[in-house]
Structure 1
């Protein structure tokens, strides 16, 4: 019998390559199913074997919905990728993002998500623990309750301009106004003045600054970069960024850079949101690119998310007219005139606050996960022991709609936030729209201040009804960390001004 191979026979490299690839794939599948430390965590078979399904739904813009469906099928602990476990449990918020006890270090952020492009400078949201504490300390004063009260007159100027412009365009409800745009223009003008000493002129001109549109495009582009990070292709992200193939992030940072240059050239101290970093940039060792990165974060967090929540709240109220009537009556019976509505006095509107909280539950401005990676030694999350290197997170959307934590989660019910006995079993700590722990959202006070003042002013001045073209506004919306919102058309009818 002749030998299969003889010395000197040509080597069939394609065949050997195919055999090696087959062995690698089969070996990987065997390991992930039978040997991997995460093998006991439930999840769809394909998702446990590869991260491609996760990447697909991220790029499709419906990963938040898909994760909610998978939690209902597989339970509160879900293996979303070969290396990733997501939780749908209030305790997970504390275990993953909360303050650590004693000398136990904070669970670090996962750089493949937060920093897929290593060419970009870090900000307070992406900085390592030590740098984060320093940056946050310098920014915290500008976001305090005291600072918000000091800035009230400035904020009020733009809110009153909004009301003026809405009166000019309302036409007694005959025409419908795109409230998505009006809210975006208002919050963008406010953050421009609070952060950089000047408005962007959106309300004055009733039009978009090119920057506003660019923000949404930047998030969509960033979802591509994050997906490549999940695939371990950060070098591809760097190449794409440097080559200019996808340039929305770069274009956005260039606009921030120009605005920040103008802010620094003002030549005087101004108690704005960026002031703490500008004054101590040399002491903190911050170069100009780092200032730009932090300023960019302030613009996005201080405008897009607040405008999104107000748009969602307006949709939910106008599609639930009984709730709208109740909150309108609360506002109008509390104040004798428009000028009585201030950042302080809106705290006397418990039902309106409940409406905003319920809107945060049903339409959270940020839908994506905020992943962390377990350090050496691993950790126990919600009673589940996981090894080091595991990526862990909570999806806000999934936990907000889970019937285990909310009675009738699809129902818009502000009463659940007002100790209504019907909702006594709701677990309100399941909702963390501003995250929790040492890295919770620093802009929470500003967001609540703005949205309460803006909504109260609108409810006092106008009756609202939704245009038929927007009745399915929330249906099948895509999200790339933040929502890709279509126009929201609302009819506004001015309310007769009270005398006295």
Structure 2
């Protein structure tokens, strides 16, 4: 008779810890698979078009995000599934202007229709800033910041702007004379960082003077990369592990950038100088009990540096690249500029704003080179509003449960052009106005829209002074990676001074 080994005897040989481990090893995979199947096929968002693998698990999204290729993958998803795509179990991307305006618009009370996603935009410090603030704090901060970005402020600061544009053109004249290749991405960054440093902190970064990036600017670039790691960690409720997940170099740069920006901003605030025409003078002049505390002002100055420099350099670089890849459009813009002014001194902000074809070109550049790519994830707390978006698009008729997250098609903004293409279509005047109006819907839009206006004379004067030829190694410049913002490669060009009769 065969001997039988009793099951009870087996259990007696296994410790309680071993039993727990076995239970985990058996049930965890079942839970993961069951959860994935539920979200992919039975969840109320499962009706939204999108790849089931992405709904089953967010790992593909995280993978492409870390690679810097999510914008390209999102384009492929929209090409395949249409203007509404679910790319995780509770994230939805839209490419419709109607959806954009509803999602990022404001209600009758002045509040945004949707709050920012508190999971991604949770405060990391005691104070808020205009990016992570809720509706009430955002309104309070925006009220004070808006004074520094009014038409009056812009007019008062034009002389400061002109000084940096003069220096920018002067440096490039030397390079044109020597015939050397110029990286316009670097030079645009030099100009925008120097200007915004002066306006935000009362001191330039000195990039144009030294013809090199200030170490602080390098820190800012690293700080932007760390946001990708933070986004993923917060989504996975692993915020406590961020210090261990982020590369040491990025952590060091982020810490140093924050400390330096805070110290510099506080130093400027302590002077209490309201006569100097910079952002802080307006903050000091109009701040009251409903305004911002000193730490909030310092934190927001840090935001202004990024919003007013790197993003503006992206717009300038992208618009220039698109013009160089479309010679007919380039010649038309250059001709408009060169025939509208008798001398370079006439090229002012107000005069440039009368150049309809150039403004349309900037508008198209803004559409095709969107600056803020992975920001502004918002949270749906009102079924009716999101249903209105869906119904107005006549795409889907499904119910979004309260509290679920959704996101705009980041790189597509409000348009169907999701990738950074190199074909340039100049819109009509009305289309230009419509596109420009959309700036007001995305924060920190005031900063971006203002610096967008500030930098028009820079491009106008560049085209007034030089004929520009793109180098062969930059013909595919638009094939870029994205880590919160574009990781722009060199835009190498040759500059030739435009010769004019002195008569």
Q: Paired residue for 1:492?
A: 495
Q: Paired residue for 1:260?
A: 265
Please list the CA deviations of residues 81-133 of structure 1 after superposition, one character each: whole Å capped at 9, or x if unmatched: 11111112111112211112469863110133233x63474211211111111
Distance 1:413 1:33, change over 3 A: closer
Within the alignment, does 1:93 sit opposite 2:100 as a pair?
yes
Q: Paired residue for 1:417?
A: 428
Distance 1:432 1:487, change over 3 A: farther
Distance 1:98 1:498, change over 3 A: farther
Cα distance in 2 for residues equivalent to 1:141 and 1:281:
10
1:443 to 447, 453, 469: 447
Within the alignment, does 1:459 sit opposite 2:463 as a pair?
yes
What are the residue-to-residue correspondences of 1:344-355 with 2, within 5 Å? 344-355=350-361
SS at match of 2:119: helix
Q: Paired residue for 2:183?
A: 178
Cα distance in 1 for residues equivalent to 2:314 and 2:374:
15
- Structure 2's unaligned 5+ residue stretches are 392-396
Cα distance in 2 for residues equivalent to 1:193 and 1:54:
39
What are the residue-to-residue correspondences of 1:88-127 with 2, within 5 Å? 88-101=95-108, 106-115=113-122, 118-119=124-125, 121-127=127-133
SS at match of 2:348: coil
What are the residue-to-residue correspondences of 1:229-268 with 2, within 5 Å? 229-237=234-242, 246-268=251-273
Offset, 1:338? 0.3
Offset, 1:43? 1.2
Please list the CA deviations of residues 271-294 of structure 1 after superposition, one character each: whole Å capped at 9, or x if unmatched: 421334445767358554322220
Offset, 1:5? 3.5
Cα distance in 2 for residues equivalent to 1:464 and 1:189:
23
Distance 1:4 1:278, change over 3 A: farther
Distance 1:34 1:258, change over 3 A: same
Within the alignment, does 1:311 sit opposite 2:311 as a pair?
no
- RMSD between aligned residues: 3.0
- Structure 1's unaligned 5+ residue stretches are 420-425
What are the residue-to-residue correspondences of 1:87-486 with 2, within 5 Å? 87-101=94-108, 106-115=113-122, 118-119=124-125, 121-171=127-177, 174-237=179-242, 246-269=251-274, 270-278=276-284, 283-284=289-290, 286-375=292-381, 379-380=386-387, 381-383=389-391, 385-398=399-412, 402=416, 410=421, 412-418=423-429, 434=439, 436=441, 439=443, 441-475=445-479, 477-486=480-489
Cα distance in 2 for residues equivalent to 1:451 and 1:189:
12
Please list the CA deviations of residues 288-325 of structure 1 after superposition, one character each: whole Å capped at 9, or x if unmatched: 43222201101111111111111111211122222111
Cα distance in 2 for residues equivalent to 1:288 and 1:399:
34
Cα distance in 1 for residues equivalent to 2:99 and 2:432:
13
Q: Provide TM-score, normalisation by structure 2.
A: 0.88
Cα distance in 1 for residues equivalent to 2:51 and 2:67:
19
Q: How many residues align?
A: 487
